[in-house]
A and B are shown apart, each in its own frame.
Chain A
Amino acid sequence: DQQVKQNSPSLSVQEGRISILNCDYTNSMFDYFLWYKKYPAEGPTFLISISSIKDKNEDGRFTVFLNKSAKHLSLHIVPSQPGDSAVYFCAANGGAGNMLTFGGGTRLMVKP
C-alpha cells in the first residue's frame, strides 16, 4: 500500500515555462513533506520542504504547495531550466517509526 504516490512518471516542459510536479498521500499522520532531486548516477539531494502548519513554502524558483484537506502537495518550478531535468521524489514524515516515506518519483525533462 503506497502511502505516498506520484502519479505522473514523467513530465516534459519547455524551457522558461512552469513545471508542476504532483504528489498525493494517504496517511493523515504525515506532518512534514520534502522534495528531493536526483540526477543519473547520483544520490538524491534535498530541494525544499514544508511543514503541515503551512500551505506554501518558497525558495527561489521553487515553491511547494500543501493542501491538507486533499492530502496533496505540488512542486512548482518557475522558470524551468534545462538543468532542472532530473527525477523528483516527494517524501513524507510523521508516520509509524518517524521515518521518511518516498513516492515513486517523476522524471522531469526541460527542453531547450
Chain B
Amino acid sequence: NAGVTQTPKFRILKIGQSMTLQCTQDMNHNYMYWYRQDPGMGLKLIYYSVGAGITDKGEVPNGYNVSRSTTEDFPLRLELAAPSQTSVYFCASSPRLAAYEQYFGPGTRLTVT
C-alpha cells in the first residue's frame, strides 16, 4: 500500500507566487491533516478535515486554504507566498479524529525567497 503520498517533494517559490501541495491517501481514512514543521519546532496543525466536504482550521491557518472533495485527496493551497511559509509540510491521515496514531506522508520542503 502507498499510504499517504505527497507531491512535490521540493519546491522553491518566489514571494507572491501561489501553489498547491497535493496529498492523497489510499487507506480510506476519513480524517486528514496538514502540518508544518519549522526547524527545532514541533509540528503545527494548519487545517484538518473530518470527511469529504468538511474542513476546519487548526493552529496556524493564515495564508493557507484547503478543500476536500473526495475521501482520498486533501490539497493545501498557498496564496501569495511569503518567506514565513518556508517550512516542511506534512500531510497525515487517521481512521479516528486525532486521538490515536496518524499516518504521515514523506513531506514537502518549501522555500519562499
Query: Which residues of A approach B to under 8 Å, CB–CB?
Result: 2, 4, 6, 9, 32, 34, 36, 41-46, 49, 89, 91, 93-94, 97-105
Contact = CB atoms under 8 A, between A and B. Distances in A.
Interface string B79-113: 00000000000101000011111111111000000
A46 B95 CA distance: 14
Contacts of B90: 43-44
A43 B43 CA distance: 11
Contacts of A36: 104
Given A9-B40, A89-B42, A43 B4 contact: yes
B40 A104 contact: yes
A102 B58 contact: no
Contacts of B59: 99
A55 B46 CA distance: 31
B107 A98 contact: no
A29 B99 CA distance: 13
Most central of B48, B99, B103, B105 by chain A CB within 10 Å = B99
A4 B59 CA distance: 14
A98 B92 CA distance: 16
18 contacts: A2-B42, A9-B40, A32-B100, A34-B100, A42-B106, A43-B105, A44-B43, A44-B90, A44-B104, A46-B102, A49-B100, A89-B43, A97-B58, A98-B97, A99-B59, A101-B42, A102-B44, A104-B40
Given A43-B4, A99-B98, A102-B44, 10 more contacts: A6-B42, A9-B40, A41-B106, A42-B106, A42-B107, A49-B101, A93-B98, A99-B48, A100-B102, A103-B42
